[in-house]
Amino acid sequence: MFSINYQAITVVLALAWAAPAHAAHPAAEATDRMLAEAIQMANASASDSQKFRAACNFVNGNIYASAIANQLLGKYKNLARDQKGIQTFLAVFPSILASKMYSKLGDAKGASYRVYDNVRPRDKNTFEVPVSLRFDGNTYNAKMVVYGSGNNFALIDGMAFGMSGVAYLKKDTQKKLDAEYNKDPQNSLPVTELVKDEVSDSDFAYCN
């Protein structure tokens, strides 16, 4: 199946519980709010449509989806003949993330999440926020990478076991796009085919 494996990102988002911590750094406080919102969504007594709408709102309010989408496309974001497919992918990517997140909400039950304040700056306005995740009797250390300033931050990556989630997804996506492109290097529309496959997935739904 020509589909992106988003589990590395969506499980981290779904398995979200921010335990009390001294989150004085604005990036840590923002991460705490994101994770608290996610666990509230996972545990809410709501209809499926209400939970999916909450997932859409979470993605639109907390994830820098366009930046992640452009990273996944890599060199293919400049493929002139596939501009329609590229623009469509960028437009539906928040719905793709929300659909994947919604399908994984059950993974949050029984988990605990703690946010720490020893935030490390990366590039301008980009920060690594340490967190720990406990589920199935095990504790895992991870880092949430957020972009922004003041009280406005958005999630752009998650790191665990020394590996970037977005980098992993990009590598996987590029292999799939390469394979599609190489079917007909002069005429193929790899991003268009990626979009077709994603929106045909049984878990996919559009955010309105």
pLDDT digits (tens, 9 = 90+) for 46-72: 888 999 999 999 999 999 999 999 999
Q: pTM value?
A: 0.84
Q: Is the pLDDT of residue 3 over 50?
A: yes
The answer to whether residue 205 is domain-embedded is no
Is there a domain that residue 1 lies in?
no
User: Considering the domain boundaries, does residue 154 fall inside one?
Assistant: yes
Which residues make Cβ contacts (< 8 Å) with residue 11, sequence separation at least 6?
A: 104, 107
How many domains in the chain?
Answer: 1
pLDDT at 14: 52
Identify the CATH number of the domain in which residue 121 sits.
3.10.450.710
Q: Is residue 208 part of a domain?
A: no
Long-range pairs, 16-24, Cβ under 8 A, ≥24: 16/42, 16/108, 16/111, 16/113, 17/108, 17/111, 17/112, 17/113, 18/113, 18/114, 18/115, 19/112, 19/113, 19/114, 19/115, 21/114, 21/115, 21/116, 21/117, 22/117, 23/115, 23/116, 23/117, 24/117
Share of the chain above pLDDT 70, in %: 88
- C-alpha span between 171 and 169 (Å, rounded): 5
Q: Is residue 2 part of a domain?
A: no
User: How confident is the model at residue 57, as a pLDDT?
Assistant: 96
Domain, as residue range, for 53: 7-199
pLDDT score for 21: 46
Question: Is 206 within a domain?
Answer: no
Compute the distance between CA of residue 108 and CA of residue 127 in angstroms, rounded to an integer.
24
What does DSSP assign to residue 117? S
Average pLDDT over residues 111-118: 87
Confidence (pLDDT) at 9:
54
Question: Which pLDDT score, from 0 to 100, does residue 65 have?
Answer: 97
Is 149 part of a structural domain of the chain?
yes
What digits encode the pLDDT tens for the residues 18-38?
Answer: 344 445 799 999 999 998 888
Q: Is 54 domain-assigned?
A: yes
